[in-house]
A and B are shown apart, each in its own frame.
Chain A
Amino acid sequence: MTGEVIYRVNFWGLEHNGAWETVGHVFAYFILPLCALIMLARFFLHIRVWWKVGRPDRRWDCLGTRVGRLIQYGVVQTKILRQKYPGIMHVLIAWSFFVFFLGTAIATIDADVPILFGFSDEKPSLILNGGWYLFYKFALDTFTILFLVGVLIAAFRRFVQKPERLTKTGSFVFMWGLVSLFGITGLIIESTRLAAVAQDTSLQPGWHEGLAWSTPAGWAIAKIWLGAGMAIPGLITFHNVAWVVHACFVGIFFLVLPTTKLVHIFTSPLNTFFSKLDRPVGQLAPAVVQEGGAAGAGKLSDLTWKQLMDGDACTECGRCQDACPAHYAKTPLSPKELMISIREGLHGKNGFAKTGADAPEFVGQGVADPVLWSCTTCGSCVAECPVLIEHVDSIVDMRRYLLFKQRADAELMTVLGSFRRYGNSFGQSDRKRAVWTKDIVPKVKDIRKEPADTLWFVGDYASYSQTLVEPTQMTARVFRRAGIDFGILYDGERNAGNDVRRIGEEGLFEMLAMKNKQVLEKCEFKEIVTTDPHTLNTLKNEYFANGNGKPVPPIRHYSEVLDDALRSGKLKVSRKLGYTVTYHDPCYLGRYNGIYEPARRVLEAIGCRIVEMPRNRSKGFCCGAGGGRIWMNEEVVKQRPSEDRIREALALGSAECFVVACPKDLTMYRDAVKTVGAENKLRVKDLIELVDEATAEAETAAPAVETAAAGSTLDKEADA
């Protein structure tokens, strides 16, 4: 064993080896840098349309947070890891790529800095010697193994499993083939070198077999060559040929990157860097208003550069499609395909990527109207997207344009007319909004006339729907039981406009919001409470977004209020229910506002055992009613998401109750449980019905609400 310190030999096998030396230098110092430059230039030309066509949008602020997002989502890739199999597959390949890139960069610095500064003779290697070199080799070698494992997992997924959501085109096979060959040629280069060095250690001073641990994969393969009796000259030639092939692959990789799926290596991390920071997920940007009152995005040039970037950032992983209720329903919408449409519109031959009056309409031609109308705005796609694409914002922008052009469902337009005239979707008189209170004694406070702690913003469904009268009255009763001092707006309330806005009727949303805010301003209260997650979302995220310095009142969902009342003991449980229940997370409560636990805590407090459906919390599956879908014709819906959800709950086997915390959900799932034919197996219950039942006895003597005094228990209902 010599005492010589091992170091990295630059251009091993090529240098001082006749023509190979020239070949090596030409590749390393000319061809590959040129390819890299071409790549950067082509990438620049490819993405230039973003800002040439797209509207401006300020996404350069808060650099620290943006870099943080880039690291979290683009480098560490936490969101990709939300799904195990594809997540592990991707990070094995991606992290290895980062390591290889870093390794190459270090090697370049290590070898070329001494040459540049003219001290290469005394110190051929700057950093990569001794322990550092061994660590460097070990890291690269380990990641080569991980890389090849990732490539194999990818092959199994693409060629054997073939999940529906993947785009199955030759382009992906090409990309897969190219990166696999990277790894394989890399291993050949290393193993042939090791096999030669093992026969003559002078080929790499300082090497001895005791250091082979630092290159486990390379050494394992080197032993094959040694076993085959390959001699040094053959090994060196083999090594050099593999080196050139490897370099060619790198060159090809650079050249094709900007126009193949590989471009996501750049666009996806960029997308995470420029993702939405200025507003919460539940807040839409105002509509672009053009001359003559036109609103929304009809042309690609009406979208922002970031919305165009979304199209290029899409990796076609299809997670959005898997989670999408509209895709489940077999409507023409797949969020993934929508992003591909934007990309193709931007780079395709149809000339959508233009600005000005003669630019062709993208909406209708590049993406069909029914695609946009199929969206329930549930936000699953946004929640699932590993690269932070904002599908819903773009869909709403394009809907705004469709509506402006009167290209919408006739039924939907009738409902919008009702909203505008009466302030509700039921086409009923605004004066009848509080009819549900008429039997309640003492009368529910009119908060416009007398102050109360809690302003209960009742919402349309809870106010007008015949089937929801009872749960709404129960809410009033339970609030009283909990000692909550509340009042309502009576006919001063209008629909809050959450869904109106997501339909794309921005002007109507503004009108409804203005009327509501005018009434709210005149009332005295400490907080706003609502049972409707849609109302909650817009009140919380949109009404006071431009607060003009005024304090925003706290806005809470009744599940939070009940949770508080039960925990503080203001609301006492008189009877532990002992039911086994499952809880459905409403989209606008959960995914949009992150309120997952209060309802669950309430259910536990009243003695229910919760069994979770596979799709729970941020993966909660939409009932299909959001984004105005509840008012549109069901022609495009081939199977109902709500029925699928009921089947998901039935599959748990043990759940007796399907608990919801949203008036629209109660309507949707009471229907679905009937159409599925599972009324006898599963009871759809609003959270308030269970809370009412669990807290009832204490006041059976003097019910606060006379009409609903029957206090229905599950058993009674089952008998009926």
Chain B
Amino acid sequence: MNIAVPIKFVPDLVEEMEIDSSTGKLDRTFMRLVPNELDEHALEQALILKERHGGTVAVITLDTGDVDEALFTAVAKGADRAIKIAGEGYAEGVTSHACADLLAEALKDGSFDLILAGTQAVDDLDGSVGALLAAKLGIPYVGYATKVVEAGGKVVATKEYPGGLLAEIEVSTPAVIGIQAAEKPPRYVVTSLVMDAMKKAKIDEAEGAAAGLEGAAEITGMRPPEAGKGAEMIDGDANAVAEKLVGILKEKGVL
């Protein structure tokens, strides 16, 4: 099967997030962008399928800045193609709706049997790209998948439901599967292979339309979560602590 893996770049939560007071949005000046973790799982699952059944894997991303290294890393891991869509306004961030539009445009030629996307991203304020993409392409979508198996031209996705329920859902291809977790953690590929990919591989660059805001939720403001009032520390020996705790629980009406 020919598999496409869209990769979204999201703010690195290792850095402190700041809100630009003039726009009310995240300040992107010093922001470090990293591939969305679940998209890395989607890539891992795609590579596992390729190893098992053959086929190709292509990674595709919007050029929101500094994406090349991640694309080359994907190639070093075993992806056959890397596609970068550049366009106006991408660097300021692209909503999920716009992202799905742009990806649909790039993927609509039907050369892919399967699209594996991370089921969600840490920056999601606007819905899941995978589901939107499936809708735009008019093909089936299964989200929250933890396993994908190829079976006679179709795929069977294992989806997790709350309460420990698992469903096996068979879908005909082409289809979009939202990956919650790959079968195993994303692989680490040695730096020498990444360097080798940087020297030898080529990133296919495509021109995309300007990112629109159509259909997306409008963000009116952002603020960091407020800190709580803090915890009360109870000191003393076990008996005193227990007594005090019972008192507090009674006072709060729990007991």
Q: What residues make up the interface of A, taking CB atoms closer than 8 Å to B?
A: 287, 289, 292-293, 295, 403-404, 406, 408, 410, 413-414, 416-417, 420-422, 427-429, 431, 505-508, 510-511
Contacts and interface: CB of A to CB of B under 8 A. Distances in A.
A420 B191 contact: yes
Given A410-B185, A416-B188, A421-B34, A293 B193 contact: yes
A664 B104 CA distance: 51
Contacts of B196: 292-293
A558 B177 CA distance: 55
B188 A417 contact: yes
B231 interface: no
A505 B194 CA distance: 12
Given A293-B193, A413-B188, 19 more contacts: A289-B192, A292-B196, A293-B190, A293-B196, A413-B185, A414-B188, A417-B188, A421-B34, A428-B14, A429-B12, A429-B16, A431-B15, A506-B191, A506-B192, A507-B193, A508-B190, A508-B191, A510-B191, A511-B195
A295 B187 contact: no
Contact of A427 (B14, B76, B187): B14
A511 B193 CA distance: 13
B188 A507 contact: no
Interface of B: 12, 14-16, 32, 34, 76, 185, 187-197
Nearest to A421: B34
A510 B196 CA distance: 14
Nearest to A510: B191
A289 B187 CA distance: 21
Contact of A507 (B12, B15, B192): B192
A510 B192 CA distance: 9
A314 B193 CA distance: 35
Contacts of B185: 410, 413-414
**Nearest 4 CB-CB pairs, A to B?**
A507-B191, A507-B192, A293-B196, A413-B188
A238 B197 CA distance: 79
Contacts of B32: 429
B197 to A, nearest CB: 8
B187 A505 contact: no
Given A404-B190, A508-B190, A293 B195 contact: yes
A227 to B, nearest CB: 77
A408 to B, nearest CB: 8
Contacts of A404: 190, 192-193
A673 B51 CA distance: 47
A422 B188 contact: no
13 contacts: A292-B196, A293-B190, A293-B196, A293-B197, A295-B192, A403-B190, A406-B187, A422-B14, A431-B15, A505-B190, A506-B191, A507-B195, A510-B191
Given A293-B195, A293-B196, A507 B190 contact: yes
B140 to A, nearest CB: 32
B48 to A, nearest CB: 12
A414 B191 CA distance: 14
A403 B193 CA distance: 11
Given A410-B185, A421-B34, A507-B195, A295 B190 contact: yes
Nearest to B194: A507
Contacts of A416: 188
Most A CB contacts (10 A, CB to CB) among B14, B15, B194 go to B14
A269 B195 CA distance: 42
Contacts of B191: 420, 505-508, 510-511
A512 B194 CA distance: 14
A429 B192 contact: no
A621 B188 CA distance: 32
A372 to B, nearest CB: 15
Contacts of A403: 188, 190
B15 A429 contact: yes
A403 B189 CA distance: 8
Most A CB contacts (10 A, CB to CB) among B14, B15, B190 go to B190
Contact of B14 (A406, A410, A429, A510): A429
A446 B16 CA distance: 22
A403 B187 CA distance: 10
A417 B192 CA distance: 14
Contacts of A417: 188
Contacts of A511: 191, 195
Nearest to B13: A429
A597 to B, nearest CB: 38
Most A CB contacts (10 A, CB to CB) among B189, B191, B193, B194 go to B191
